[in-house]
A and B are shown apart, each in its own frame.
Chain A
Amino acid sequence: MIQPVLGFIATIAFAIIYNVPKQALIPAGIIGAGALMIRHWAEQFGLNPVAGVFMGAFFVSVSSEVLARIQKLPGTVFIVSGILMLVPGMSALNTMRAFVQADYATGIANATQTLLMAGGVAAGLVLAGALVRMDRRKQRVAQGQTDD
């Protein structure tokens, strides 16, 4: 039960570092806590950590775009701090530890895991973003530019 509270606090702390507007602080914190819980549950459920961060990033992106429309703020405002909950920090540290100990096999394994998790975060963002933005993109393409 302590995990979501920690995620909430950490996300709000990052939001303050990035100077996120005051009205977006609490929603951003909830998004961060949600992302952390999804990642946690996915792992408890026996899913690969990559799948966990992918689902977390997907959640962050979708809920951020929805909130961005409600509060009329840029989506980035909600995404940047929430996504930091999913950064594979421990996995990256373990990679460096293994390499420094000249345990290259473990190092490569950890590095692969770290890269896959980073890719999972990116993929979650991309997929959700692409789905949410489809209508807007169509508008912009149709509008075009009058050249002269």
Chain B
Amino acid sequence: MDTNFHLPTIVKICLKAGALMLKNGAETARVEETIERIGRSCGAHSVYSFVTPTGIFISVTADEGHLTRMYRIGEGLQTDLTKVARINSVSRQFESGKITVQQVWEQLLAIEKAEPEYPNWLRQIAAALSGGVFTLLFQGGMGDFLPGAFCAALSNYLMEVFDRRMPRFLAVFFAALAGTSLAMLTVSAGIGKNFYQISLGALIPLVPGLAITNAVRDLMANDLLSGVARSAEAMLTAFAIAVAVALVFALKIGGLLQ
């Protein structure tokens, strides 16, 4: 174990690794564990970290003294679990002494700059496929596959476009509104048959799956603040979808658009 690293360097590496993991969809306990692992492997006496979905606080003690920093996590995150897995394995390699601090830093920068694991077009196709398959899973007819897939592709694409320009909940609201409206139009036009199954397909890419999973795992790991924050995120997203759906259902049932 090499202990000749300056305190600011240790803190810098810990923060970079933690922020990258958090932005790409890791749960709180994993981020804290990685920060602690990297810091201790750099020779720090103690590493305390406090990670929330919106910011990281760390406090490191080494021979030179003591340093505390914080890092604010902004909006507009993209989930990339491959990056989480790569940082996780970098921190383990470092702990077991297979790579140097310099290599850790270079690998972190490389991971930060790396393109997502799958190209954008493939993720759009996957979103469409998930929507189409879900119409079938919930007893829709074969004719509902294509409308479901198309609506899902639309709502997924719109969510990504809006997410950069407005709060997450509004983006989901407008995406759900567009997806369900299109579902209604396809049924009115006679392209699809089962309105509810197609709506379900349209909405499935918007379901906050990662937020729910991480909220449950955070609460389970006693990270109460993060757990409650992520539950709130999931609840608000679900609520945004519900309001959009209610709006379109009201139009449909009110007979405005048959």
Instruction: Identify the A interface with B (CB < 8 A).
Output: 2-3, 6-7, 9-10, 12-14, 16-22, 36, 72-74, 76-77, 79-81, 83-84, 87, 89-90, 92-97, 99-101, 118, 121-122, 125-126, 129-130, 133, 140, 145-148
- Bound together, the chains give a CA A130 to CA B48 distance in angstroms of 24
Contact of A80 among B33, B81, B200 (CB under 8 A): B81
Contacts of A21 in B (CB 8 A): 81-82, 85, 117
Contacts of B116 in A (CB 8 A): 19
Contacts of B88 in A (CB 8 A): 73-74
B209-A80 in contact (CB<8A): yes
A14-B45 in contact (CB<8A): no
Contact of A9 among B26, B123, B133 (CB under 8 A): B133
Query: Which of chain B's residues has its CB closest to A94's CB?
Result: B196
**Interface SS of B by simple majority:** helix
Contact of A93 among B196, B219, B221 (CB under 8 A): B196
Query: Which of chain B's residues has its CB closest to A21's CB?
Result: B82
B interface size (C-beta, 8 A): 60
Chain B proximity of A44: nearest CB distance (Å):
15
Chain B proximity of A146: nearest CB distance (Å):
6
- Bound together, the chains give a CA A72 to CA B30 distance in angstroms of 14
Contacts of B130 in A (CB 8 A): 10, 13-14, 17
Given contacts A21-B117, A77-B85, A80-B81, contact A16 B126 (CB under 8 A): yes
